[in-house]
Amino acid sequence: MRRRRRFTESERAEIWDRLEAGETAASVAGVFGRYPSAVRAMQLASGGVRPAPRRRRAGALDLVEREEISRGLSAGMSLRAIAAGLGRAPSTVCREVGRNDGLTRYRACAADRRAHRRARRPKVPKLSRCRRLHELVEAKLSLRWSPQQISRWLQSAFPGEPELQVSHETIYMSLFAQGRGALRHELHRALQTGRALRRSKQSLPSGSGIIPDMVLISERPE
């Protein structure tokens, strides 16, 4: 069976723009000639929240520096001399060359592509790394605390322990995003919405939360 192609980065950006503007998954899918399930799957993969743009880690080697390393190796320079020219530690250049085919086969573009792929590998969520934090968050979710309440409570209860601090967004993502596995998925039912997918405020139907023919308290009889 032929596999459906994935959305490109530009398509993903446009899809999120349309969803955040209030369009439905079905209408957005029609624009791209796809089934609504394809858009739904994209939403579920990030818990209904637009993924943050990827940024190169501060201090990481970039392509320009890798090209300088490649030229230096071709010219017969030592790793220490190349590192000095880049203003980098010799150990940084040594690791870079060692993990990318060594002195004679190092290529800047290939090394940069590998670094990009490594950066995209899933990272272990904070709630999975720290068992105590995991248990604290699950206990409060079971009491129907919101992620915002839990995050603020952790800040006040454990001010000097950064390993026990977590943002409300991280809690939401651990509940909703597929593959995160940090929190028991059924705990999303303890949230006020009870939904397994977050929705933007713009996507809520017009008039949501408004009682038909509502009479203001000031106009009601005593």
Predicted pLDDT of residue 95: 92
Report which of 110, 31, 25 is spatially closest to residue 63, judged by C-alpha positions. 110
Predicted pLDDT of residue 152: 93
Predicted pLDDT of residue 216: 52
Distance between CA atoms of residues 106 and 94, nearest Å: 11
pLDDT in tens, the chain (222 residues): 455 678 888 898 899 999 989 899 899 999 999 999 999 888 877 767 787 666 666 678 999 999 999 999 999 999 999 999 999 999 999 999 999 999 999 999 999 989 888 776 556 667 778 889 988 988 888 888 888 999 999 999 998 888 899 888 888 777 765 444 455 555 555 555 545 455 555 544 444 444 555 555 555 565
Residue written as token pair 């248990």: 135
Angle at 168 (CA atoms; ends 136, 115), nearest 5 degrees = 105
Report which of 173, 175, 183 is spatially closest to residue 135, judged by C-alpha positions. 183
Tell me the three state secondary structure of residue 154.
helix
